[in-house]
A = this chain, B = another copy of it.
Amino acid sequence: MFSLSEENYLKSIYHLEAIHGKGISTNSIAKKLETKASSVTDMIKKLAEKEVLVYKKYQGVSLTKLGRKEATKIVRKHRLWEVFLVEKLNFSWDEVHDVAEQLEHIKSPKLIDELDVFLGFPKMDPHGDPIPDKDGKFQKIEKKLLSTLEENKIGICVGVNDSSSDFLKYLDKNNISLGQKIKVLSKESFDGSSTILINSKEITISKKISNNIYIQS
């Protein structure tokens, strides 16, 4: 059994590995968890003891199979709860993350699988992220950043890279949501900003924005 804190470390390392591959640095974990590197060192020693990750001094860490399995369970819980909040409790997609951060730590063998049944085995969470099934399996969907789309090309919004309330509210304000068609009208090479057509409206978005929107094209 893992403590709330241990679970948060596992999840963070899992997400970091998804982006950067094996060998996650102490500092990057510290940044993600908004804690100090020294605290991370303490904790990863403990997690190495528990054999959910491999740790060599100064070399960063990598999850073991067991560690990945545990992390996947937490991600599954997080995303299923997010679906529940949006589908059943009238939460909007920018309100769910913080509550799901708490709910993902509830321990009950039955709870999460029944929730899955109740929700009809959803494959995606409200932000377009895949939900692992009971066995931890999920299909990776084809997606790329809007920032990589060339001028005059069209894509469909299928996810976001940042689930913060601030960013999602910005998207709402500009009528950007999952399933929306987005056409890149022009790109400014100076600052990376681009003008896009969405909902038959032209808007200009910064590089930071287009770097946080996933599309399928």
Binding site for B on A (CB under 8 A): 85, 88-91, 95, 98-99, 102-103, 106-108, 110-111, 114-115, 117-118
CB pair A91–B106 under 8 Å, yes or no, is no
CB pair B91–A110 under 8 Å, yes or no, is yes
| With A89-B118, A118-B89: A102-B110 Cβ-Cβ less than 8 Å | no
CB pair B103–A106 under 8 Å, yes or no, is yes
Give bound CA distance, A91 to B95, whole Å: 27
Copies in the complex: 2
CB pair B102–A115 under 8 Å, yes or no, is no
CB pair B114–A99 under 8 Å, yes or no, is no
Give bound CA distance, A115 to B91, whole Å: 11
CB distance from A120 to the nearest CB of B (A): 13
Contacts of A91 in B (CB 8 A): 110, 114
23 A-B pairs whose Cβ atoms sit less than 8 Å apart in the complex: A85-B111, A88-B118, A89-B110, A89-B111, A89-B114, A89-B115, A89-B117, A89-B118, A90-B114, A90-B117, A91-B110, A91-B114, A95-B110, A98-B108, A99-B106, A99-B108, A99-B110, A99-B111, A102-B106, A102-B107, A102-B108, A103-B106, A106-B106
